[in-house]
């Protein structure tokens, strides 16, 4: 039977991986998810193997000058300290050039399960031409042209399949994490005499992109030139027939099982690809609980819930944790964050002031500056309902001027509000900072433009720590949100007529207004005047959302559906 996890390995192929803090091999949520997936595999002791690129120069280290202008310094990470070099190479040709690919292995070890290796492909070898050496150096190849990016995807897909073979893995399922990995189907087509059904039996695909324009597309000629005679370009056209090589369509057409990463994202994907509507399932993301819980909450959970690390569904028993110890554990983590912020910025946050956290990649749809849409109104909210302080973090992709403007804009609002509202921006958002922030703030703020947040996972990390989310109802929050119980919403419900009619400017206005109103009438009064109620919401965040939006549940769903033999 093809595709059971029992009769071979699941190979999880992803352009980026958030493995541990010192390894700068990821850009954002997609990579962090890949890391949490593999941590979930290890906990469940599944026969699985990860595949990615070495990305030895990382994404770069972010520095911000006085006005918030981002500078990115190359940030190579010490590969030998984390990874073991493998004595294996494979070769392929790209644009007629010979490419030799080496590999490194990083082991993800579970405290209570097994070990899952991640194979990291490396073209930076003396036997390769200079441009080929660069293919696996930087995450998503900033500043490079389309041909270079396509070549990178070919290394991941074709090089990945060949390397697994060379290393002796018996792979029953190739799981493509986002369209970047979809060229692995080309190598599988070649091996199966272009028999698409045989390829489909071996492939599973998870899409993450809820907007049509954001899917990667390339000219057939470009791919034909680069891949040479690997497979006829006519075969690619057959499986990506809309005039371009569309990496998502290729994966949709050549996978036996396909899913979006939340219920809402499933619907959006079905609308985008109606011919695949029947075929697109939903598995809502989960974050890896032991990785994303702060020390003090972890101690508290140890005292109250046996084996919560092994079986995080048991976090439902958090309903029985008492007020006082929950509040104390939270405040201890908050003090830890305050210290962390002081060390990095010199800014002194107040332990008794409601603290909002917002850490995201600096891209327009995440709308980092939404809170400042109407500063007079924000001043009024604070004057009437109580103080807030805000911690921001997030990188713009190197060279992304729009993203850089967003960071500068936050800096300028912070300056305008200096002396009234403490606002600080932390440099170089990474996994360690992600944990500090989601475990140490009082409220996790999230206000993406709908339906752009396919899932989002940082709000799940917050939930594990008893930090309620305050968010537009998009991504996983459509499922995790119970108003005033697990957090709060911003703006209209999905599918409401009001949501359907909005353009971007209206959406900003409607959401900013809702944000101010809810902050003034619900969030701040509860925090300052009804601490008991507040702690109840913290407890619910753990008990209702922590117990569901975790990596073990996510991976059990993949095992039961995506990797099951009947799928």
Ligand X SMILES: *Cc1c(COP(=O)(O)O)cnc(C)c1O
What does the per-residue mask of binding to ligand X show for 374-413, with x meaning CB under 6 A?
----------------------------------------
What does the per-residue mask of binding to ligand X show for 82-121, with x meaning CB under 6 A?
----------------------------------------
| Residue range at the interface with ligand X (CB under 6 A); choices 128-136, 302-310, 318-326, 430-438 | 430-438
547 binding ligand X? (CB under 6 A): no
What does the per-residue mask of binding to ligand X show for 355-374, with x meaning CB under 6 A?
-----x--------------
How many residues sit in the footprint of ligand X (CB under 6 A)?
Answer: 12
| Residue of 445, 447, 437, 466 lying closest to 542 (CA atoms) | 466
For the bound state, the minimum distance from the C-beta of residue 18 to ligand X, rounded and expressed in Å, comes to 7
430 binding ligand X? (CB under 6 A): yes
487 binding ligand X? (CB under 6 A): no
What are the two backbone dihedrals, phi and then psi, of residue 489, each rounded to the nearest 5 degrees? -100, 160
200 and 185 Cβ atoms separated by less than 8 Å: no
Query: What Cα–Cα distance (Å) separates residue 437 from each residue in 9, 104, 239, 379?
Result: 36, 31, 43, 24
What are the two backbone dihedrals, phi and then psi, of residue 178, each rounded to the nearest 5 degrees? 80, 160
What are the two backbone dihedrals, phi and then psi, of residue 158, each rounded to the nearest 5 degrees? -75, -45
Nearest residue (CB) to ligand X, 29 versus 451: 29
456 binding ligand X? (CB under 6 A): yes
Nearest residue (CB) to ligand X, 240 versus 471: 471
For the bound state, the minimum distance from the C-beta of residue 431 to ligand X, rounded and expressed in Å, comes to 5
For the bound state, the minimum distance from the C-beta of residue 463 to ligand X, rounded and expressed in Å, comes to 12
Choose which of 291, 457, 486, 540 interacts with ligand X (CB under 6 A).
457
Q: Where does 371-495 have alpha helices with state H? A: 375-385, 401-416, 431-440, 458-464, 477-480
For the bound state, the minimum distance from the C-beta of residue 94 to ligand X, rounded and expressed in Å, comes to 31
**At 30, which helix (H) or strand (E)?**
helix 29-43
458 binding ligand X? (CB under 6 A): yes
434 binding ligand X? (CB under 6 A): yes
The alpha carbon of residue 160 and the mean position of all alpha carbons in its chain are separated, in whole angstroms, by 22
| Residue range at the interface with ligand X (CB under 6 A); choices 58-66, 158-166, 235-243, 426-434 | 426-434
- Cα 550 from Cα 310, distance rounded (Å): 11
226 and 153 Cβ atoms separated by less than 8 Å: no
**Which residue's C-beta sits nearest to ligand X?**
434
Choose which of 12, 17, 28, 492 interacts with ligand X (CB under 6 A).
28
- Cα 362 from Cα 109, distance rounded (Å): 32
462 and 541 Cβ atoms separated by less than 8 Å: yes
Bridge partners (DSSP) listed for residue 243: none
464 binding ligand X? (CB under 6 A): no
- Cα 157 from Cα 165, distance rounded (Å): 13
**At 443, which helix (H) or strand (E)?**
strand 443-446
Nearest residue (CB) to ligand X, 3 versus 29: 29
Nearest residue (CB) to ligand X, 32 versus 283: 32
The alpha carbon of residue 285 and the mean position of all alpha carbons in its chain are separated, in whole angstroms, by 9
| Residue range at the interface with ligand X (CB under 6 A); choices 80-88, 210-218, 311-319, 425-433 | 425-433
Query: What Cα–Cα distance (Å) separates residue 445 from each residue in 337, 512, 523, 549?
Result: 16, 12, 12, 18
- Please report, as ranges, the residues that interact with ligand X according to CB under 6 A: 28-29, 32, 360, 429-431, 434, 456-458, 461
């Amino acid at each position: 039977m093809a595709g059971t996890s029992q009769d071979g390995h699941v190979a999880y192929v992803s352009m980026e991986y958030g493995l541990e803090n010192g390894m700068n091999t990821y850009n954002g949520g997609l990579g962090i998810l890949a890391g949490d997936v593999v941590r979930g595999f290890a906990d469940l002791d599944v026969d699985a193997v990860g595949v990615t690129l070495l990305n030895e120069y990382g994404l770069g280290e972010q520095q911000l000058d006085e006005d918030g202008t981002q500078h990115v310094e190359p940030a190579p990470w010490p590969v030998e300290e984390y990874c073991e070099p493998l004595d294996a190479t494979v070769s392929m040709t790209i644009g007629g050039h010979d490419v030799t690919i080496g590999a490194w292995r990083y082991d993800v070890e579970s405290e209570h399960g097994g070990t899952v290796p991640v194979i990291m492909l490396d073209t930076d070898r003396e036997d390769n031409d200079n441009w080929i050496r660069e293919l696996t150096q930087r995450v998503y190849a900033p500043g490079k042209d389309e041909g270079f990016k396509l070549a990178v995807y070919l290394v991941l897909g074709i090089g990945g399949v060949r390397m697994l073979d060379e290393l002796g893995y018996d792979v029953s399922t190739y799981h493509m994490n986002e369209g970047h990995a979809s060229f692995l189907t080309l190598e599988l087509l070649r091996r199966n005499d272009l028999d698409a059904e045989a390829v489909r039996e071996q492939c599973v695909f998870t899409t993450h992109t809820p907007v049509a324009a954001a899917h990667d597309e390339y000219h057939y000629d470009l791919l034909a030139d680069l891949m040479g005679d690997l497979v006829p370009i006519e075969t690619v056209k057959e499986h990506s027939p809309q005039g371009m090589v569309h990496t998502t369509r290729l994966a949709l057409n050549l996978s036996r099982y396909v899913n979006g990463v939340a219920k809402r994202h499933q619907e959006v994907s079905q609308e985008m690809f109606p011919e695949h509507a029947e075929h697109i399932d939903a598995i809502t993301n989960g974050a890896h609980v032991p990785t994303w819980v702060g020390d003090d909450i972890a101690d508290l959970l140890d005292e109250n819930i046996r084996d919560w690390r092994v079986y995080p569904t048991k976090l439902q028993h958090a309903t029985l944790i008492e007020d006082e110890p929950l509040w104390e554990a939270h405040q201890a983590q908050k003090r830890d964050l305050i210290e962390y912020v002081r060390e990095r910025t010199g800014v002194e946050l107040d332990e008794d002031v409601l603290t909002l956290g917002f850490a995201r990649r600096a891209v327009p749809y995440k709308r980092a500056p939404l809170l400042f849409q109407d500063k007079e109104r924000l001043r009024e909210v604070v004057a009437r309902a109580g103080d807030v302080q805000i911690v921001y973090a997030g990188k713009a992709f190197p060279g992304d001027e729009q993203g850089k403007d967003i960071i500068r804009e936050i800096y300028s609002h912070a300056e305008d509000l200096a002396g009234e509202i403490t606002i600080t921006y932390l440099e170089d958002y990474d996994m360690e900072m992600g944990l500090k922030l989601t475990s140490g703030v009082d409220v996790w703020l999230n206000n993406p433009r709908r339906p752009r947040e396919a899932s989002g996972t940082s709000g799940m990390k917050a939930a594990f720590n008893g930090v309620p989310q305050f968010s537009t109802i998009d991504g996983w929050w459509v499922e995790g949100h119970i108003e005033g119980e697990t957090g709060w919403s911003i703006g209209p419900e999905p599918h409401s007529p009001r949501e359907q009619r909005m353009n971007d400017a209206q959406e900003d206005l409607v959401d900013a207004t809702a944000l101010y109103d809810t902050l003034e009438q619900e969030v701040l009064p509860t925090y300052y005047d009804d601490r008991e109620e507040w702690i109840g919401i913290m407890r619910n965040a753990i008990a209702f959302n922590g117990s569901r939006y975790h990596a073990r549940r996510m991976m059990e769903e993949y095992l039961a559906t995506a990797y099951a033999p009947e799928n």
